[in-house]
Amino acid sequence: MFLESISLKNFRNYTDVNISFSHGTNLILGKNGAGKSNLLEAIYILSTSKSFRNAADNKIKRWGTYNYNVKGVFSSENGEYEIELSYVKDKKRLLINGAPEERISNILGFAYCVIFFFDDILLVAGPPKMRRSFLDLILSTIDPLYFEYLKNYLSAFKQKSRYLRDSSSIDYNLLKSWNEKLVDSGSYILHKRYSLVRFINSYIDKSVSEVFGFRYPFKVVYQTNVPRTNNEDSVEHIQSSFTEELEKNTDKEIRVSQCIIGPHRDDLVFTDEKHDVRTFGSIGEARLSSIILKCAQAEFYHQKKGIIPILLIDDILLELDKKNMEKVLILIYAESQKVITTTEVVKLPEIFLYDQMFNIDEKGNILCKGIRKPTQ
Amino acid sequence: MNEQSTIQRLINELSKLPGIGRKTAERLAFYLLKESDNVGRGLAEAILEVKQKVKFCSVCGNLTEGDPCGICCDPRRNRKIVCVVEEPKDIWAFEKLRTYNGVYHVLMGVISPLDGVGPEKLRIKELLKRIEASETEEIIIATDPNVEGDATALYLSKLIKPLDISVTRIASGLPVGGDLEYADSVTLSKALSGRRPL
C-alpha cells in the first residue's frame, strides 16, 4: 500500500500544503518543532481518524482557525482511494472517493499504516489500557465485526457497571441478562485477541529470531481472568468458560459493585519466561520489545489482508544502539513505503537509504523536495 | 408581554420539539405569523385536542381515544399471541404490515441503568399480570436490536419462560430490497447465523 500524495489545510502548523511521496523511503528532515511529526500525524489520521498523539481535534486545527482538512490519495492492488477527513464546526466529516460516509469509523480498513513513535514504550511499560487499545486497533482495522462487538461490549459493560453501582437490591435475572450480552460480544473479542497474541509470538519465534541470529528470548502472554480453554478456536468454548466464571463471581461482583470478570480487565505481558520486562528489563529492551510489537502489527496486516502497510517512523530508531537499529531496519519490510522523520542525516546508520527528502524550515515551509540517494 | 417576547416564547416552545433546532423553530414561528389565522388555530386546536382525548390503553399501553384501545377490543384479534414493543409508535409500524393478527403490549421504554430505567419503571408487571389472567400462548419480543433492547428481551424471557409460555424474539437481518454490499457487518453476520434451509 502506498501513499501517493497528501494535502493539508489548517492542520497544525501547516496553512496549505500538497506533498507527493515516493513509493520507497521518504525522509523528513527538520529541526525540533518544525512540524515533522505533524506530517506523520496527518497521514495517521487518514488511517484511523485519530491522532497517534491522542490529541483532540480542536488542538489539531491550526491556531486561530476553526477547521482543518486532510486529504490523501492511497494506492494498492485494489486501486486508488481518496480519503478526506475534515473537521468543521466541532464535527468530523469523512469522504471516501468523494462520497460522504455516515460513520467516521468506516475509515478503518482503507489506509493501512503502522506508526513507530516515542510513546510506543508505553506498550511495554505503560498501563494495561494501552495494550488493550493496541490489540483493539489492529483487530478493528482488519475486522469490522470486531469493532462492532467491541462497541457492544462497551455499552453492555457500562450498563452493567451502573446497575451494580446504583441498585440497592440486585435482580439476578437482570444481572444475568447483562452477563449474556457481555458473553455474546466479549467471547468474540477474546477469541480474536487470543489468535492475535499467538500470531505475535510466532512472529517473534520465527522472523525476529532469524534477524537477530538467536532465539529472541521474549514472548507476550495474554493475561485474562476468563479461564483459558483448550480449544480457543471455538467461540462456543470461550462463551461457556466466560459464562461459568461470571456465575462463579456473581456474589463478589455484587459485593464490590463492579464488573470484575471480562476482557475489559485483561493485559498483555512481555516476559522472558521468568521475568516481566516491565520490571526487570532495561529501557533499551523495553524500547526494542515495543518496536517488535509494531513490526508484528505490520506483518499481521500483511498475512491477514495481503497488504504491506505504510510505516510511519517518528525519530524512534535513534534510541536503540547501532546494532539493534540495523536489525530493526532489516526486520521492517524492504518493500514497504516509509515516511521517516529525523533531525540530522548523520545520525542515520550507513545501511539506511532514502529515495526522497523533504526539508522543513522553522516556519514550516517545505523547502527541498529534491530526490537524493546517498552512496552506500 | 411585548411582541418580541411573545414570538420568542413560541420559538422557545417549538425548539423543544424533537428534531427541531433554533433555526427551524424560527422559520416555523415566522411562517405561522405570516399565514392566515386558520393555520395557527388549526394546529393549536389539534394539539389541544390530541392531548385531551388521546390516552394510553389500560390493557396494552397503546395510544387510544377509547379505553381499551381498538386493537384490544377487536374480537377478530388473536389474544393468544402478544407482541411486546418499546413504544406505541412501534405498534403503528407493525399495524402497517396488516398481517400481524395478535395483540400488543407496550413497555414504554427499555431497561437502561445509565438512563435510570430499571424493570420497575417499565410495564413489565402489567405484562405478567396479563399473561396470568388470559390464555396467552406466545410472547413475541420486538424490542430494538441493540444492547439495551437485547438485554430487556433476555430479561423478559427469564421471567416468562417459567410460566410455560413460548417466548420468541423477532429475527434481525437484512432489509428486503436492500443491497447486500451496503449492510453493516454485524447485520450481515446475524443474517448469516440466522440462515434457513431453502
Q: What is the pLDDT of residues A224-243, one digit of tens each?
A: 999 998 888 889 999 999 99
Tell me if B174 is assigned to some domain: no
Query: Do B92 and B49 share a structural domain?
Result: no
Nearest to A19 by CA among A372, A374, A361, A359: A359
Give the residue from chain A lying closest to B161, CA to CA. A173
Q: Is residue B59 part of a domain?
A: no
Nearest-CA distance B119 → chain A (Å): 8
Cα–Cα distance between B138 and A122 in angstroms, integer?
55
What amino acid occupies position B34?
K
Half-sphere exposure in the Cβ direction for B133 (13 Å, CA): 7
Q: Is residue B100 part of a domain?
A: yes
B152, part of any domain: yes
- Residues of B near A (Cβ–Cβ under 8 Å) read 111-114, 116, 118-119, 146-148, 150-152, 154-155, 158-159, 184-186, 189
State the pLDDT at residue A375: 44
- Specify the pLDDT at position A152: 94
In total, how many domains does chain B have?
2
> Which residue from A145, A171, A181 is facing B150, i.e. has the nearest CB?
A181
- Answer yes or no: is pLDDT of A168 > 70: yes
Sign of CA dihedral A217, A234, A110, A13: negative
Contact B112, A177 (CB under 8 A): no
Statement to judge: residues B124 and B44 lie in one domain: no
Measured between beta carbons, the chain B residues lying within 8 angstroms of A155 are 146-148
| B16 and B83 inside one domain | no
Chain A, 112 to 151: residues with Cβ < 8 Å from chain B are 144-145, 148-149
B197 within domain boundaries: no
What CATH number corresponds to the domain at position B26? 1.10.8.420
Domain of residue B25 covers: 3-53
Q: Strands A14-20 and A310-314, how do they pair?
A: unpaired
Instruction: Report the run of H or E that residue A95 belongs to, with start and end.
Output: strand A91-96
Task: Yes or no: say if A187 and A231 are a contact pair by the CB < 8 Å rule.
Answer: no
**In a shared domain, residues B148 and B116:** yes
- Say whether both B112 and B36 belong to one domain: no
Size of interface A-B (CB pairs under 8 A): 57
In a domain, B14, yes or no: yes
Are the C-beta atoms of residues A70 and A42 closer than 8 Å to each other?
Answer: yes
User: What domains does chain A contain, in order, with CATH numbers?
Assistant: 1-112+307-376 (3.40.50.300), 119-305 (1.20.1050.90)
Q: Does residue B96 sit in the same domain as residue B32? A: no
Q: Which domain CATH number covers B114?
A: 3.40.1360.10
Residue B8 covered by a domain? yes
CB contact under 8 A, B151 and A177: yes
Buried b (16+ CB within 10 A) or exposed e, A14-36: beebebebbbbbbbbbbeeebbb
Contact B119 A156 (CB under 8 A): no
Q: What pLDDT does residue A51 have?
A: 92
Residues B84 and B46 in one domain: no
State how beta strands A68-76 and A2-11 pair.
Answer: antiparallel
Q: Are residue B107 and residue B154 in the same domain, yes or no?
A: yes
pLDDT at residue B2, as a whole number: 65
B82 and B158 housed in the same domain: yes
What is the ipTM for the molecules in this complex?
Answer: 0.83
User: Residue A43 pLDDT > 70, yes or no?
Assistant: yes
Give the burial class of A317: count Cβ atoms within 10 A of its Cβ; 0-12 exposed, 13-18 middle, 19 or more buried.
buried
Average pLDDT, chain A: 90
Name the percent of chain A lying above pLDDT 90.
62
Q: Does B134 reside within a domain?
A: yes
Residue A11 amino acid letter: F
- For residue A270, list its beta bridge partners: A220
pLDDT at A78 over 70: yes
Q: What is the pLDDT of residues A3-28, one digit of tens each?
A: 999 999 999 989 999 999 999 989 99
Report pLDDT for B11.
Answer: 93
Q: Do residues B162 and B81 both lie within one domain? A: yes
Mean pLDDT by 10 residues, chain B (198 residues): 80 92 92 90 93 93 92 94 96 91 96 95 95 92 95 96 93 79 76 81
In B, which residues are within 8 Å of A177 by CB distance? 111, 151-152, 154-155, 158
Q: What is the pLDDT, as a whole number, of residue B3?
A: 65
Phi, psi of B192 (to 5 degrees): -70, -45
Q: Tens digits of per-residue pLDDT, A339-351? A: 999 888 776 766 6
| Same structural domain, B17 and B88 | no
**Are B149 and B143 contacting, i.e. CB atoms less than 8 angstroms apart?**
yes
